[in-house]
């Protein structure tokens, strides 16, 4: 019996430097975009007014509370690779395709803007998933799959709220 165990070849944990750099770069770009999105959710949560106050107030709170957990997991995944996640707001703003907005917006504009940002985030999630899969990084790929499902649900809910069909 000991001979069978001795003969088994175990998968090595860890990644080569170039593999790790590519995965971490994708995760870091996602992190920067997600941080700006997170702050936008808080802005909309705090500043929504009008008849749709409760709807948008509640969904943005749910999204930023989940977002805080997701952001932490992304940053900790970067640490798994021995790298330091981006932590400066100035760098988030430079590296993010998602942009800040003002506070004096209609609830419809806020919702349409969130739908657009979800599309942007989802594209970064998919790119990160593809990179992770191509490098055999099942941990990151699994994390990205969970995020995709989450954002698909939010996209559906917000799109339904605006009563518009999005492809």
Give the chain as a DSSP string.
-HHHHHHPPPPPPS--HHHHHHHHHHHHHHHHHHHHHHHHHHHHHHH--STTHHHHHHHHHHHHHHHHHHHHHHHHHHHHTT------HHHHHHH-SS----S---HHHHHHHHHHHHHHHHHHHHHHHHHHHHTT-HHHHHHHHHHHHHHHHHHHHHHHHHT----
pLDDT band at 37 (very low <50, low <70, confident <90, very high): very high
Q: What is the pTM for the complete model shown?
A: 0.88
Rounded mean pLDDT, 94-121: 96
**113 vs 10, higher pLDDT:** 113
Rounded mean pLDDT, 118-134: 97
Domains and CATH numbers, the chain: 16-162 (1.20.1260.10)
């Amino acid at each position: 019996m000991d001979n069978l165990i001795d003969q088994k070849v175990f998968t090595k944990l860890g990644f080569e430097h170039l593999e790790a750099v590519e995965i971490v770069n994708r995760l870091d770009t996602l992190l920067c975009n997600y941080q700006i999105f997170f702050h936008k959710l808080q802005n909309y949560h705090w500043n929504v007014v009008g008849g749709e106050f409760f709807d948008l107030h509640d969904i943005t709170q749910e999204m930023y509370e989940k977002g805080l957990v997701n952001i932490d997991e992304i940053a900790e995944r970067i640490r798994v690779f021995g790298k330091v996640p981006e932590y400066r707001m100035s760098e988030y703003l430079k590296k993010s395709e998602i942009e800040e907005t003002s506070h004096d917006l209609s609830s419809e504009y806020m919702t349409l803007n969130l739908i657009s940002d979800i599309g942007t985030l989802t594209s970064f999630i998919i790119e990160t998933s593809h990179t992770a899969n191509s490098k055999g990084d099942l941990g990151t790929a699994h994390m990205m799959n969970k995020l995709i499902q989450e954002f698909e649900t939010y996209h559906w809910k917000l799109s339904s709220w605006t009563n518009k069909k999005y492809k």
